[in-house]
Amino acid sequence: MTQELILANATLILAGETRTGSVKITDGLIADIAEGASVPAGALDLGGDYLGPGLIELHTDNLERHIEPRPGVDWPHAAALVAHDAELAATGITTVFDAMRVGSIPSGKGRYIKYARQLATEMLELRARDMLKISHFLHLRAEVCSETLAEELSEFTADDRVGLVSLMDHTPGQRQFRDISKLEKYVKSKRGMSDEEFAAHVAQLKALRAQYGDLHEAATVAEAARFGAVLASHDDTTADQVAVSAGHGIRLAEFPTTVEAARACRAEGIAVMMGAPNLIRGGSHSGNVAAQELAELELLDIVSSDYIPAAQLQAAVKLGEIWGDLARGMATVTAAPARAVGLTDRGVLEVGKRADLTQFAVIDATPMPRAVYVRGARVG
């Protein structure tokens, strides 16, 4: 049986413009887009609310927060996955690349325990049982400063919906943590380390980078190609680092830390992604370049929620204010991320695309989601 829904009298967020109109959905796809404020019989009257594509989230630590709500607390994964999924749906996100760290450090005070393969299997099983509201892909955060990265990557295959692999290097003293005092504050508050334990942690990470870094970097590039996944850089700081990223075939840069790196990305045709909390807070918590500065310099392409799901829509609206163009701001969380990872069936309001939609109002400059649809079915 054909399923049909009309969302009428909305402020449609289209490619390059907003205008009053309606969207007709048939069998989960956008069947028609009409102009005007009329409300046909049987249609839902949105009362002028904004209606745009569902948000596409490429980098979020939110799932890790659900599986470990407190340091050392391992929450049941199925419950964590369902809660994470519902939270994202409620904020307007309809497609997510779930970030999972690969590359463990089994020993030492600052150890990281392997978890990605098991968690990914559980997520894929829930998806197969139709227990998740939104569309899920895998984002493997490949930490070269580790002991087990190559073997953990080898456990994944092209059938695992790995859509994105980030090449990460959190060695103290460079990239995100050029200022080691920022790392010290973060790690001590999260892991309860003493001064001596933190010093040993830094020494351990530097030793791991020296022993495994080049090997792990090469393995990550090769494995991303095996998965058919997009390869992204992370925390590029210098033009030289961007040149290395470009040499790997990277076309997406997550959170470059300086204007220099962002300019180099632009010159290489690499899309720049920044975190929404950075934009909303007015700066980076690690002391790196502010997302708003990159926006004002025309060096910002994509926004991720990073660690606060609701921040993604809020950042898109704020970018609309900065640029004087809401459609452009919304594109940083819809069309641009879709393009970066090769999703051609979503991210824009166009006939024939998936009916993944977000309805929201803006109250005192804050977007308030009213309804969220995935394939035309309301999920939030």
Return per-residue pLDDT of the chain as tens, 380 residues: 678 999 999 999 999 999 999 999 999 999 999 999 999 999 999 999 999 999 999 999 999 999 999 878 889 999 999 999 999 999 999 999 999 999 887 766 556 789 999 999 999 999 999 999 999 999 999 998 888 899 999 999 999 999 999 998 866 656 666 666 666 566 666 666 777 777 776 777 777 777 787 889 999 999 999 999 999 999 999 999 999 999 999 999 999 999 999 999 999 999 999 999 999 999 887 778 999 999 999 999 999 999 999 999 999 999 999 999 999 999 999 999 999 999 999 999 999 999 999 999 999 999 999 999 999 999 99
- Kind plus residue range of the DSSP H or E element containing 19: strand 17-26
Closest C-alpha among 244, 250, 272 to residue 174? 244
Residues contacting 118, CB < 8 A, separation 6+:
77
**Residue from 136, 134, 39 nearest 357 by CA:** 134
Q: Please count the helices (runs of H) and the strands (runs of E) in the chain.
A: 13, 16
Q: At a CB cut-off of 8 Å and minimum separation 6, what does 65 contact?
A: 307
Residue 91 one-letter amino acid: T
C-alpha to C-alpha distance for 95 and 112, rounded to whole angstroms:
28
User: How far apart (Å, rounded) are the C-alpha atoms in residues 364 and 313?
Assistant: 14
User: Are 236 and 207 in a shared domain?
Assistant: yes
What string of DSSP letters covers 193-245?
A: --HHHHHHHHHHHHHHHHHHHHHHHHHHHHHHHHHTPEEEEES--SHHHHHHH
Q: Are residues 276 and 377 in the same domain?
A: no
Q: How far is CA 205 from CA 144, 148, 179, 198, 209, in A?
A: 10, 13, 15, 11, 6
Domain count within the chain? 2
Q: What is the DSSP string of 142-157?
A: EESSSSSHHHHHTT--
Q: What are the b/e assignments for 264-275, b being 16+ CB within 10 Å?
A: bbbebebbbbbb
pLDDT for the residue numbered 1: 66
- Token digits of residue 244: 């290395």
In the chain, the amino acid numbered 363 is I
Same domain, 77 and 47: no
SS3 content of the chain, % helix, strand, coil (to 5): 35, 25, 35
Residue 122 sits in the same domain as residue 207 = yes
- On whether both 354 and 242 belong to a single domain, the answer is no
* Domain identity same for 159 and 25: no
Q: Does 320 share its domain with 355?
A: no
Res 134: pLDDT? 98
CATH of the domain at 353: 2.30.40.10
CB 233 within 8 A of CB 242: yes
pLDDT at 195: 72
Q: Are residues 239 and 370 in the same domain?
A: no
- Residue 311 and residue 211 share a domain: yes
Q: Which domain holds residue 1?
A: 1-53+347-380
CB 265 within 8 A of CB 271: yes
Residue with tokens 């830094």: 202
Residues 225 and 351 in one domain: no
138 CB contacts (<8 Å, ≥6 apart)?
Answer: 97, 98, 100, 120, 123, 156, 160, 161, 162, 163, 164
CATH classification at residue 100: 3.20.20.140
pLDDT at 329: 98
179 and 322 belong to one structural domain: yes
Same domain, 273 and 293: yes
- Rounded to whole angstroms, how far apart are CA atoms 239 and 234? 13
**24 φ/ψ angles, rounded to the nearest 5 degrees:** -100, 130
Query: What is the residue type of 284?
Result: S
Burial label for 364, CB within 10 Å (0-12, 13-18, 19+), is exposed
| Whole-Å CA distances, 21 to 52, 130, 329, 336, 360 | 12, 32, 20, 23, 15
Cβ–Cβ < 8 Å for 216, 146: yes
